[in-house]
Amino acid sequence: MKEYTRTSAEFIDACRIYLKAGNGGDGAASFRREKFIPFGGPDGGHGGKGGDIWFEATSNVTTLSEVAFHPHITVPDASPGGGNKCDGAKSEDKTVYVPIGTVIKRDGRIIADLKENGQRFLAAKGGRGGRGNTAFKTQFNTAPRISEKGEPGECFEVILELSILADVGLIGFPNAGKSTLLSTVSAARPKIADYPFTTISPNIGMVSHKGKTFAMADIPGLIEGAHEGKGLGDVFLRHILRTKLLIHLVDPQGFQDTPPENAIKIIENELKSFSPILARKKIIIAVTKADLPEAEKTYKKLKARYRKRDVFLISSAASKGINQLLDKIIKTLPEIKQEDAYKTEEKQKTIAPEVKKGLILKRDPDGIMRVEGEKILKIVAMTNFSQLDSWDRLRRIFKVIGLDKALKKAGIAEGNIVRIGNREFEWSDEPLPSRKPGKFAYKYRNREREEYKKRMKE
């Protein structure tokens, strides 16, 4: 799996974090015992619900640095239930604030795209509280000694990627004048110098022109092979996936051994190789540094080669051609329909469909039979193995859901080990107890009640 590291000391646009939602509280198995109340009955309360983990997009955060420096996000477990039908307290939810434009991925799938201020997403769900013995009271089992453990909260890793939300993206070879143009038309103050790769993180600024306002992003310089990781690589290419319009700035002096006439084809091949979405975006060509002698010649060559495109000659230092370029931008933006760059999938799809449906039997490398299935794993995790009645209940559940039949069909034998989750069970062909749960206790209470009535008559 690709490792995500900091790209600069200030700007972090991708990180891997670990989520652990709160476990549900355990249910209680208790009985009401008070003087002069012979038929108190069960009064065990239910456990509280475990807290959830939410992600919320906010304009007050611009990078993922805070999340990246604290990658382990956990929620405390809920409180257990108690006697006198007291339910446990729910543990508080935890909200993680991320920048607008954050994409959340799990197992390679996009499960959320937070592109609006205040938009929330439930990433990890807390477990429900275990039921107390009051929930298991029936006509035939009036004194159940059964309670459930709390359901485990969801636990997994996710990858956060920041994709800047901007209307216009500036692309081109290093030192093409992207940062200079952004500082000229907006209040943004990116670093400007006369050496390649001056910009090592995206900058964004708000541009106002003739009553129209739009966001413009300066993407660090691309070179040939960027989609394969060369130069600054494909680290920042995703930041222009959401842009409606691209402005390709061309340096009339070229870049290293690449002449300016070939710059457009090279950069557009890189965009196409990274994503088909980038290949379909509208691109305006702007030859920069119009005050240089080579600029006019380069402009005429590109104008003749790309007759169906808009080509401008600009100079940010001399403010030449800037207004004409901005006029074209505010005229073009309303005509472009935004394409959804990220298609989210339901979080449930991260679990294999066959595992969700029912039971899967397979052999571990050591030859032990393993049982998989979302429901069966949850049942075992919530079983209180310190209670004998819970053992009997679990065996009956295994029979009802067809696990016994499936294991026999798979060739299980007396004394073999069966793994379910982190538990190991020894298979036995002994029949289940024939008596109904609580039958003896029910008869005992009837006899006690008759003796009580007799004493009252006397």
- The string of pLDDT tens digits covering residues 180-189 is 888 888 876 6
Q: What is the CATH number of the domain that holds 104?
A: 2.70.210.12
| 300 and 325 part of one domain | yes
Residue 354: what pLDDT? 39
> Is residue 8 included in any domain, yes or no?
no
| 143 and 189 part of one domain | no
The closest alpha carbon to 130, from 435, 378, 317, belongs to 378
E strand intervals along 149-197: 155-162, 168-171
Residue 251: what pLDDT? 86
Q: What is the CATH number of the domain that holds 293?
A: 3.40.50.300
Residue 174: what pLDDT? 80
What's the total number of domains in the chain?
3
> Is residue 77 included in any domain, yes or no?
yes
Residue 235: what pLDDT? 59
What is the rounded CA–CA span in Å between residue 61 and residue 55? 13
Residue 179: what pLDDT? 82
What is the rounded CA–CA span in Å between residue 201 and residue 152? 40
Q: What is the CATH number of the domain that holds 394?
A: 3.30.300.350
> Is residue 98 included in any domain, yes or no?
yes
* Average pLDDT across the chain, whole number: 82
Report pLDDT digits (tens) over 22-68.
Answer: 999 999 999 988 888 777 889 999 999 999 999 999 988 888 888 99
**Do 114 and 100 meet the contact criterion of CB atoms below 8 Å apart?**
yes
Burial class (CB in 10 A: 0-12, 13-18, 19+), 272: middle
Does the pLDDT at position 297 exceed 60? yes
| 201 and 323 part of one domain | yes
> Is residue 454 included in any domain, yes or no?
no
The pLDDT of 341-368, averaged and rounded, is 66
**Which range has the worst mean pLDDT, 41-50, 56-65, 405-414, 425-434?**
425-434
| 137 and 202 part of one domain | no
| 211 and 307 part of one domain | yes
E strand intervals along 210-289: 212-218, 245-250, 282-287
> Is residue 442 included in any domain, yes or no?
no
pTM attached to this predicted model: 0.76
| 289 and 356 part of one domain | no
**How close are the terminal C-alpha atoms of the chain, in Å?**
81
Residue 330: what pLDDT? 92
The percentage of the chain sitting over the pLDDT mark of 90, rounded to a whole number, equals 32
Does the pLDDT at position 443 exceed 50? no
**Do 145 and 387 meet the contact criterion of CB atoms below 8 Å apart?**
yes
> Is residue 409 included in any domain, yes or no?
yes
Contacts of 269 (CB under 8 A, 6+ apart): 224
Give how far Cα 22 sits from Cα of 46, 96, 106, 172, 185, Å: 16, 15, 19, 47, 49
Predicted confidence band at 2 (pLDDT cuts at 50, 70, 90)? very low
Report pLDDT digits (tens) over 162-202.
Answer: 888 888 988 888 877 888 888 888 876 655 544 444 444 67
Contacts of 189 (CB under 8 A, 6+ apart): 183
> Is residue 2 included in any domain, yes or no?
no
* Helix (H) or strand (E) segment spanning residue 189: none
